[in-house]
Chain A
Amino acid sequence: MGNPFTDLDVHAYADRQLAPERVAELEDAMARDPALAAKVAEIERQNAWLRAGLGTALDEPLPRRLIDAARGAPRRSYRLFAPLFAAAATLVIGLGLGWYARDATLQRAGMPTSFAREAAFAHALYASDAKRPVEVWAPEEKQLVAWLSRRLDIPLHAPDLNAAGYALVGGRLVAGNERPTAMFMYENSARQRLTLQARKQAGTDETAFRYAVEDGVGVYYWVDDRCAYALAGNLDRPQLLAIGRLVYQQLATADAPR
């Protein structure tokens, strides 16, 4: 058996730099060889975590001295190895304080923007997880739904998305900043994953579907009855919307009195 792909090809594929003519071949091999697919998924997962961990550094405001330096301002004399421990300590404390202040502001802003962002973020991390994308797998769907309903204290339903080509993988509890979030994960035959996330939402009126793209992940989110929902996936907008409507219909009929 075996496959004609080297370690180098696997890295190149996960880093999106494998020669285009070999991409399809490798995807075929992945479909036949779960070990190969797992290897790729592990690298993609690592990449997602590393980008998430180092990503915020790009949003920091630029210091004046670097803007001046980029404009070719004459160099002032300074020593690169000056022991700037005091300055560094102050900066670290400042960053820490700034971080908490920013966080508090965002939490006060609450739904729905922060929910969409958290949902996209949780999607990016867990959908790329090869080993443990979910805590409870689809064969135990009944227990999964019962468990998550209990933890969120609202009746939940895992919609059936087979009509759209997506099967339930399972679900997990995501510890949200304010309240716990339930995540149901789905997968199609091309191993593309979607997540539907739900959280209890007190005192907010129902909203229309809204759409956001966060870190390349598309999210439809809405509030219905006592629940905020987010459907996240790396799909284009019309596809995601179609699935969003399917989810919405099923939840509406599931909630209706029988």
Chain B
Amino acid sequence: MLAVPPLPEPDLLAAIPRLRRYARVLTGDPTRADDLVQETLARAWEKRRLWAVGSDLRAWMFTIMHNVFVNQLGLAARDARNVSIDGDGDGARAWQLPVRATQQIRVELLEVLRELERLPAEQREVLVLAAVEEMRYEEIATVLDIPVGTVMSRLSRAREKLRRAMSEGRDAAQAPLKVVR
């Protein structure tokens, strides 16, 4: 009987920061995010015979995490979670802002993060995987187990919503600034 080869540890460790970040996007809470990552890592070791040596470990880990998350919450609970996050209106609290950002930029970043949290979960996932994780659309389709066409329509809707929200915010913020001149 052949022994199942171990997963490449350095690659797993290297994948953790990105897994944690995406888990935080999914859960909106740093502690629950780390629970999700821990569970994902445990699953990865259990299922390591399913990983094709040499294939993209990160995409495989993201796929596992998506499945763990969906299974554990169930779609109904997931929707309920959205309502609660939308309700308190400050999902941005899960994130730290860059040290080098100036006050003005921090204010705008908080606004972007808030709008991101207000997106429906399915759109937020696709947007973050494409824009922040820079995954290829086909990869995103695999991770989320949806057709590429669905990836594109969710991405397009997410960006349109964000654009509208941000341009409204900017117009409101710009108005008093004109006085400066």
Which residues of A does B touch, CB under 8 Å? 7-8, 11-12, 15-17, 42-43, 46-47, 49-60, 62-63, 65-67, 69-72, 75, 78, 80-81, 84, 87-88, 91-92, 95, 99, 102-103, 106, 114, 117-118, 120-122, 125, 131-132, 135-136, 143, 147, 173-177, 181, 214
Q: Which residues of B contact A136 (CB under 8 A)?
A: 181
Indicate if B102 sits at the interface (CB-CB under 8 A). yes
Given contacts A11-B130, A80-B72, A136-B181, 5 further A-B contacts (CB under 8 A): A8-B152, A49-B108, A49-B112, A80-B32, A175-B104
Q: Which residues of B contact A42 (CB under 8 A)?
A: 159, 163
Q: Which residues of B contact A72 (CB under 8 A)?
A: 6-7, 9, 45
Indicate if B121 sits at the interface (CB-CB under 8 A). no
Q: Which residues of B contact A15 (CB under 8 A)?
A: 130-131, 134, 137
Q: Which residues of B contact A91 (CB under 8 A)?
A: 30-31
Interface of B, secondary structure class, is helix
**Interface positions of B from 3 to 47, Cβ below 8 Å from A:** 6-7, 9, 12-13, 16-18, 20-21, 24-25, 29-32, 34-39, 41-42, 45
Q: In the complex the two chains form, what is the Cα distance from A91 to B160 in whole Å? A: 34
**Interface positions of B from 164 to 181, Cβ below 8 Å from A:** 166-167, 170, 174, 177, 180-181
For B18, the closest partner residue in chain A by CB is A58
Q: Which residues of B contact A49 (CB under 8 A)?
A: 108-109, 112
Report whether A57 and B20 are in contact in the complex, using a CB–CB cutoff of 8 Å: yes
Report whether A53 and B112 are in contact in the complex, using a CB–CB cutoff of 8 Å: yes
Q: Which residues of B contact A88 (CB under 8 A)?
A: 29-32
Interface string of B73-94 (1 = CB under 8 A from A): 0000000000000000000010
Report whether A57 and B21 are in contact in the complex, using a CB–CB cutoff of 8 Å: yes
Q: In the complex the two chains form, what is the Cα distance from A56 to B30 in whole Å? A: 13
13 A-B pairs within 8 Å (CB atoms) are namely: A15-B134, A42-B163, A49-B109, A52-B105, A60-B96, A70-B12, A70-B16, A87-B31, A91-B30, A92-B30, A131-B167, A175-B104, A176-B102
Q: In the complex the two chains form, what is the Cα distance from A42 to B177 in whole Å? A: 22
Give the most central of A11, A50, A70: most B CB within 10 Å.
Answer: A70
Q: In the complex the two chains form, what is the Cα distance from A66 to B13 in whole Å? A: 9
Which residues of B does A touch, CB under 8 Å? 6-7, 9, 12-13, 16-18, 20-21, 24-25, 29-32, 34-39, 41-42, 45, 72, 93, 95-105, 108-109, 112-113, 116, 127-128, 130-132, 134, 136-137, 152, 155-156, 159, 162-163, 166-167, 170, 174, 177, 180-181
Report whether A80 and B9 are in contact in the complex, using a CB–CB cutoff of 8 Å: no
Q: In the complex the two chains form, what is the Cα distance from A58 to B45 in whole Å? A: 23
Q: A11-B159, A70-B16, A132-B174 are in contact. Are A47 and B34 (CB under 8 A)?
A: no
Give the most central of A66, A176, A214: most B CB within 10 Å.
Answer: A66
Q: Which residues of B contact A65 (CB under 8 A)?
A: 34, 38
Residue in contact with B181 in the complex, picked from A78, A81, A121, A147, CB distance below 8 Å: A147
Report whether A52 and B98 are in contact in the complex, using a CB–CB cutoff of 8 Å: yes
Report whether B98 and A56 are in contact in the complex, using a CB–CB cutoff of 8 Å: yes
Q: Which residues of A contact B167 (CB under 8 A)?
A: 131
Report whether A58 and B162 are in contact in the complex, using a CB–CB cutoff of 8 Å: no
Q: In the complex the two chains form, what is the Cα distance from A156 to B136 in whole Å? A: 45
Report whether A62 and B101 are in contact in the complex, using a CB–CB cutoff of 8 Å: no
Residue in contact with A121 in the complex, picked from B13, B42, B101, CB distance below 8 Å: B101
Report whether B116 and A53 are in contact in the complex, using a CB–CB cutoff of 8 Å: yes
Report whether A50 and B112 are in contact in the complex, using a CB–CB cutoff of 8 Å: yes
Q: Which residues of A contact B93 (CB under 8 A)?
A: 92
Report whether A54 and B95 are in contact in the complex, using a CB–CB cutoff of 8 Å: yes
Q: Which residues of B contact A43 (CB under 8 A)?
A: 159
Residue in contact with A102 in the complex, picked from B21, B99, B116, B166, CB distance below 8 Å: B99
Q: Which residues of B contact A181 (CB under 8 A)?
A: 102
Q: A46-B162, A60-B17 are in contact. Are A66 and B100 (CB under 8 A)?
A: no
